[in-house]
Structure 1
Amino acid sequence: MKVHLHQAIQWYFRTPVFLRLFLTVAFFMIFFGAVIHWVEPDAFPTIFDGIWWAVITGSTVGYGDYVPLSTFGRVIGIFLIIAGGGLVTFYMATVSASTVKYERNLSEGKVDYRGSNHIIIVGWNERTKQLLNMITDYIDEENIVLIDKSLDQLGYQEYKLHYVNGDASEDKTLKKARISDARCMIITSDPSKEEHQADQISILTTVAARGMNPDLFIITEILLKNQVTNARRAGADTVIRSNDFMSTLFFHELYREAHIKPFDTLVAQLSSQQYKQITVPDEMVGETFKYCALSFLEQEELLLGMEQNGELYINPPSQSILKKEDHLIVLSNLSE
């Protein structure tokens, strides 16, 4: 008996504060309800009537539908107001304080993510904001977790994401983001670092993520061309060389007057299109690139290239045979 009592006491003190308070309040209400029923059975015909009176009195609501008539019953009511009323008030204050603290921790990135099948984005910058806006505009439901160590807080009501504060290359941070149940991870380059240092951080983060989730699809942004191979060795499924892409846009914008009409609108056209990377559909496995390109054209989509054996090919030979493990690069309208 003593052993069970000791275990019960240990369990009680190990529970969260608000739960302990709730159990204490519930015990007092039941206790006083049972006592008043025993003292005045005529005024309180059932134990539930007594509990109802105890809850209404202890919470200082006081409907007056049940009242003690005897002196002893009123003394019990006085003790209930002194003990139970204070406990109820303290419980409500504790719950309110816990709610405020939870919301503050949520904004400061201190709360672990509990979902699954989500996308993890590393780094808070303009590219991340634009990506979030695109996802919000064109994807109905998507769970996103942001990992960043530079932000003191991020309004969880302003952005549709879960914020985790910390270094994405550390296991404890990745665990808080629940990387084991994530579907995809996007690692953006840190704009506050030098290019070589930023690439090293991205590669280190890729290694850590791959080690904790071998099946995770990882997209890594790399600035220097000579670091692309290292990013792939680290476990990146797709490597984005943002410097090359931006340089191409700058070049076409700078010299567009020297180009024929179709090139003049290159930047404008890109803004209304979206690139998709998809696995080869089962019905296209073993078919030629030309056959697949025609199939996509019938759907008003443009097949640009493919990723095969870790290499990206834009406009490959038309007779190239597609394999099941290949990925296709498709251009389609954002409105679709």
Structure 2
Amino acid sequence: MDRIKEQTSLIFRFVHWPLIARILVIIFVINITFGFLIHFIEPAEFPTIFDGIWWAIVTTATLGYGDYVPVTVTGRSLAIILILFGTGFVTTYFVSLAASAIATQNDYLEGKVDYRGSEHIIVIGWNERVRETLRQINSMSNKPLSIVLIDSTLEKNPLHDQNVHFIKGNPCYDQTLLSANVKSAGFVVISADQSKDEVQADMNSVLTLLAVKGLNPDVYTIAEILTSSQVINAQRAGADEVIQTNMFTSYVMTNSMMSNGMSNTLLTMLDQLKGSKLKYLEVEKDMIGTTFEKLSNQMLQKKILLIGIKRRGDTMVNPPLYTLIQADDCLLVIKD
């Protein structure tokens, strides 16, 4: 009884193997079996078992080298059976292999394959801003970046030729985020859903932010918020940085009304900053007590442009020249 159960278990496991693996095993069994048989039927023509197996493989592969040929009626009958039986399995194997490759490629395009890398950038949501952001990120980086795009509305990967891995699904669900391997991500960028009204889009962004931080509290997260009333909620949800898109747009529109043509100037200025880095620098000990004017001149000699100071959460752009640098300040600079 135990032996029957063991045999049944082996058959059950074999039946549940991938189709390609099962066909490949059957092909090997057929070639080895017919190789043994032809050796014993015609030992003169097939001196060794290996010669028989070689003949079986060449026959099922439809190569037909002709170096080993059966000459007896029994041997040729065996060859006919092998051609009818074995060649069919070989053909099925290659067809299945091609179909599997196509299915895998389609799964990648349709966002059905989990991402296995680490220290990658996860971008949630798809719109023209995201497209331009990814284009600029790739153009600024000296090496290819690992980017995972999550969206529930796309049918297939819109940037499959730009080293972007696509995950189709709702980013509010843990399973979708886990498919993007959020626990090993370096950055998460949440873009506002333009298909919804501003309040609903911000609520979805905050909900997504909570899901991300619940799975990986340490990942640096940037959230786009459209309404000022939801900024505090995004910060409560754990956003490391909040981008107020509408606020930036209103600033540009206001400056354009006050000074015609300013929008193009600002766009050109920001475009030229792509090759440089707008960043904060920690204050060094020898800088403490130095005036903004003196420190600015010193940093210019190092090709660093000092444009402001961040002090206790407030940023001062172009402060008075006599402003003294304090120990807890951060220096806002443009650095190559």
Give TM-score scaled by structure 2 length: 0.85
Q: 2:325 matched to 1:319?
A: yes
Amino acid at match of 1:214: P
Counterparts in 2 of 1:96 and 1:306: CA distance versus 1, 3 Å: farther
Partner of residue 245 from structure 2, selected from 218, 242, 259? 242
Paired residue secondary structure (1:41):
coil
Paired residue secondary structure (2:149):
strand
Paired residue secondary structure (1:120):
strand
Q: Which residue of 2 aligns with 1:267?
A: 267
Q: Which residue of 2 aligns with 1:171?
A: 174
Q: Which residue of 2 aligns with 1:145?
A: 148
Number of aligned residue pairs: give it.
325
Q: Which residue of 2 aligns with 1:38?
A: 40
Counterparts in 2 of 1:157 and 1:220: CA distance versus 1, 3 Å: closer
Superposition deviation, residue 237 in structure 1: 0.8
Q: Which residue of 2 aligns with 1:224?
A: 227
In 1, the alpha carbon distance for the partners of 2:296 and 2:5 equals 74
Superposition deviation, residue 199 in structure 1: 0.7
In 2, the alpha carbon distance for the partners of 1:64 and 1:91 equals 24
Q: 2:194 matched to 1:191?
A: yes
Superposition deviation, residue 72 in structure 1: 1.9
In 2, the alpha carbon distance for the partners of 1:238 and 1:306 equals 18
Counterparts in 2 of 1:258 and 1:3: CA distance versus 1, 3 Å: closer
In 1, the alpha carbon distance for the partners of 2:325 and 2:84 equals 87
In 1, the alpha carbon distance for the partners of 2:231 and 2:87 equals 66
In structure 2, stretches of 5+ residues that fail to align are: none
CA contact (8 A) 2:281 2:333 kept: no
Runs of 4+ in 1 over 4 A off after TM superposition: 1-4, 275-281, 283-299, 303-309
Superposition deviation, residue 264 in structure 1: 8.2
Map 1:126-137 to 2 at 5 A.
126-137=128-139
Instruction: Select the structure of larger CA radius of gyration.
Output: 2
In 1, the alpha carbon distance for the partners of 2:277 and 2:130 equals 17
Amino acid at match of 1:265: T
Q: CA RMSD in A?
A: 3.0
In structure 1, stretches of 5+ residues that fail to align are: none
CA contact (8 A) 2:35 2:49 kept: yes
In 2, the alpha carbon distance for the partners of 1:186 and 1:3 equals 54
Superposition deviation, residue 312 in structure 1: 5.5
Q: Which residue of 2 aligns with 1:98?
A: 100
Counterparts in 2 of 1:38 and 1:258: CA distance versus 1, 3 Å: closer
In 2, the alpha carbon distance for the partners of 1:250 and 1:284 equals 38
Q: Which residue of 2 aligns with 1:214?
A: 217
Counterparts in 2 of 1:165 and 1:257: CA distance versus 1, 3 Å: closer
Superposition deviation, residue 26 in structure 1: 1.8
Counterparts in 2 of 1:257 and 1:41: CA distance versus 1, 3 Å: same
Paired residue secondary structure (1:265):
helix
